[in-house]
Amino acid sequence: MSDSKFHHFRNGVTLPMIVETLTFAAETPVSIEQICSIFAEVVPSEPALGAADVEQALELLNSSYEKEGHAFRIQSWAGGLRMTTTAELAPFLEVFFRQERSRRLTKPLMETIAIIAYRQPSTKAEIDAIRGVDSGYAIRKLLSLDLIAIKGRADVAGRPMLYGTTVRFLEQFGLNDLDGLPNLRQAEELLEDVKFDQERLRLLTATELLPQVAESEDQSNDQPLSDDVQSTDLDTESP
């Protein structure tokens, strides 16, 4: 790589600054090819970048981070480059993200995702019956957060949708797979539910579909279920 690649292209911008900016801003790993493409589009008058140019800029950045005692490094990740923190800081991030999750996921959401995680694939009717309230809002919220997904439809009357957890769920809760889930007593403590009743303790042992119960007209919050009506799923259309 020629030293000219480190000169100021415009407004004091250098190649290491470009690499740092793109890896910092990207939500997913950014490929070296993409960095070169972006560079060519923004400064077409400059000679084209190659992989070796970006790699040398990367080495310069990481050397500077380490020398100056910064927490960041730019590393190869899933076929691209990603800004990360050093391993020594992992315990602090683990606590931070655990606290963030607990603030972001309300108790109804935690209850709902716990039921789905242990009982999956689960229908809305099963979740409603265990919680004792309508779970339509909680299910929609968890779907929007990509923590659960529709896994198919149950082979029963009405063919209600089946819900299960996602890869994002494993990532967010620090699990390698579902075998890493805590046992039910630990789950009870995580939910901070001192009235974790017998019905909820049957999550792992119940094999039959529970009776369906009605979904409330109010979709914005959990509502108590009526005993004299049957439930509908979030999507009432049959295929």
Domain containing 179 — which CATH number? 1.10.10.10
Confidence band (pLDDT; 50, 70, 90) for 103? low
Kindly report which listed range (25-29, 30-34, 99-103, 187-191) carries the lowest average pLDDT score: 187-191
Give the amino acid at 138: A
Query: What pTM was estimated for this model as a whole?
Result: 0.45
Q: What is the pLDDT of residue 202?
A: 46
Q: Could you tell me if residue 178 is inside a domain?
A: yes
Count the Cβ atoms, other than its own, within 10 Å of residue 194. 7
Same domain, 80 and 28: yes
For range 189-200, the mean pLDDT: 48
Same domain, 170 and 104: yes
**Percent of the chain scoring above 90 in pLDDT:** 38
Q: Measure the CA–CA gap between 152 and 143, rounded to whole angstroms.
A: 14
pLDDT above 70: residue 206: no
Q: Measure the CA–CA gap between 181 and 87, rounded to whole angstroms.
A: 24
Q: Could you tell me if residue 125 is inside a domain?
A: yes
- For the chain, the domain total comes to 2
Question: Which structural domain, as residue segments, surrounds residue 98?
Answer: 94-201
Q: What is the pLDDT of residue 8?
A: 65
Q: What is the pLDDT of residue 112?
A: 93
Give the mean pLDDT of the chain. Answer: 77
Same domain, 104 and 158: yes
Which residues are within 8 A (CB) of 21 and not within 5 positions of it... i.e. 6 or more apart?
Answer: none
Same domain, 99 and 175: yes
For range 197-214, the mean pLDDT: 40
Q: Could you tell me if residue 54 is inside a domain?
A: yes
